[in-house]
Structure 1
Amino acid sequence: MSTEMSDTTVKRPERTNATKQKLFDASMQLIGERGPAEVTVDEIAAAAGVSKGTVYYNFGSKTELISQLLEYGVSLLEQRLAPDESLPSLEALERMLSSTLDFFEEYPSFTQLLVSELWRTPSAWRDTLVMLRERLFLLAGNTLSRVAQEHPVREEVQPQAMVGLTLGATLIVGLDRQVFHPERSKAEALTALMTVMTGYLRD
């Protein structure tokens, strides 16, 4: 009996994560096509292959579903932003930017949703977005702090402003490549970003 309970305890998070991933993928595709206001819970459930009741049981409402999916998407992005302490700081920065561009390419609809809601006033998910923004700033800031420790940087540039520039530039370059310049290679986009980032260093 104890073995069965242990198995259930282990498997339940896996099933939950699998359901969230299906809901995330389905929601992002639908929302990317029509926007969050135009997508219904029925459509999300059907696209994810789950019942409408399952959606409400797990999330309670569409607003809460979108809020948690935003958090789930950012948690995936956080994995790409996680600093690599084994690399020199500039190499770690380049890897972080490269991984972030990969994420934007892998989840274009989520990226568009994140951008649109960050700049929407008011947004139904503003409190969630503020909290998620702080989490992303913290991770990116850790890598930039290492750069400042290992290299002379421009003291007139505030660290938080540099973090905002780093994330903002990566987001814009990634979206511009997806929407307007799909022929532009990731290597070209990354070179442009690193050119901007190295401007933070003192000569």
Structure 2
Amino acid sequence: MNTRGMNIRPAEPAGKELRPARTNATRQKLFEASMELIGERGAAGVTVDEIAAAAGVSKGTVYYNFGSKADLIAQLLRHGVDILKARLASTGTGTSAGAGMVPGEAASGSGPRPDPLLAMEAMIGQAMDFMAEYPSFARLWVSENWRTPSEWQDTFAVLRAELLEIIGAAIESVAAVYPVDETISRGSLETAIFGACFVVGLDRQTYNPERTRNQSVAAIMAIMRGYVVK
């Protein structure tokens, strides 16, 4: 279900402010250490002591910055999504390598308009690179996101909406240039691409490492190209 426009509760418990990490470097170390441990045993099977030791920081530092294990995981989910969002947004203009002008459009004085389909292809490629770099994050997302109830349900709802918004903007850019099938639900299309990025990326890392990045991207782009009317 598309969550954009819904009144979603904040990722943190009401009235509680999480302590900011002292540095982004500390947060990144904790993120990488926790993802490795969670990938091995799941979120419930990992302790704060283990995460702190793996990251090379004291347990006190973790509690000072985050307050509790639940808040730590919530903030590390946020950190991972922020990394992913930055990578997706970096391709949003369609100016990445290989992006060409819109088919059939003559160059104007302001220069050719980049092809939004190629921009989306580059965006999906960035998602595949992220899944390859952080497969344990994808496992945590897939395993916990649809668990009911989940300790981080509110956090997932907020982060999911943010990612869907980026995908929705990319779809909107395509629809502004190409004729599209208006019978297809825009929210369902966003969700299909969103889910495919996680599932195809994770499946490639876990079961089919022989599949190339480009093969994975092409499979997901087939969803989007089916939306464009020939």
Q: TM-score with structure 1 length normalisation? A: 0.91
Q: 1:57 to 1:14 in 2, by over 3 A?
A: closer
Q: Which residue pairs with 2:85 in the alignment?
A: 78
Partner of 1:181: 208
Q: Which amino acid aligns with 2:42?
A: G
For 2:211, the aligned partner's letter is: R
Q: Does 1:89 align with 2:89?
A: no
Please, which of 117, 120, 124 is the counterpart of residue 144 of structure 2?
117
Contact residue 116 and residue 170 of structure 2 kept, 8 A = yes
- After TM superposition, the structure 1 stretch with the greater mean CA deviation from structure 2, 166-175 or 55-64, is 166-175
1:39 lines up with 2:46 in the alignment = yes
- Counterpart residue number, 1:99: 126
| Aligned partner letter, 2:137 | F
Post-superposition shift, 1:14? 9.8
- Aligned partner of 1:168 in structure 2 is 195
Poorly superposed stretches of 4+, deviation over 6 Å = none
| Offset, 1:195 | 1.9
Tell me by how many angstroms 1:179 deviates: 1.1
- 5+ residue gaps in structure 2? 1-19, 96-113
Separation in 2, partners of 1:191, 1:120? 30
Query: Do 2:128 and 2:201's aligned partners in 1 also have CA atoms closer than 8 Å?
Result: yes
With 114-123 and 14-23 compared, the bigger mean Cα shift is at 14-23
For 2:24 and 2:120, the matched residues in 1 are separated by 29
Which is bigger in relative contact order (C-alpha 8 A, separation at least 6)?
A: 2
After TM superposition, give the deviation of residue 15 of structure 1 in Å. Answer: 5.5
- The question of 1:191 aligning with 2:212 is answered no
Q: Secondary structure of the equivalent of 1:200?
A: coil
Structure 1 residues 31-67: Cα deviation after superposition (integer angstroms, max 9, x where no partner): 1100111111110110000001000000000000000
The CA RMSD measured in Å over matched residues stands at 1.4
**Structure 1 residue 85, shift from structure 2 partner:** 4.7
The structure richer in helix per residue is 1
CA distance in 2, matches of 1:95, 1:14: 32
Q: Which amino acid aligns with 1:169?
A: A
- Alpha-carbon distance, 1:196 to partner: 2.2
Counterpart of 1:66 in structure 2 is: 73
Superposition deviation, residue 140 in structure 1: 0.9
Q: Secondary structure at the match of 2:26?
A: helix
Alpha-carbon distance change, 181 to 66 in structure 1, aligned in 2, over 3 angstroms: same
- Picking from 144, 149, 154, the partner of 2:171 is 144
Q: Which amino acid aligns with 1:199?
A: G
For 1:81 and 1:71, the matched residues in 2 are separated by: 15
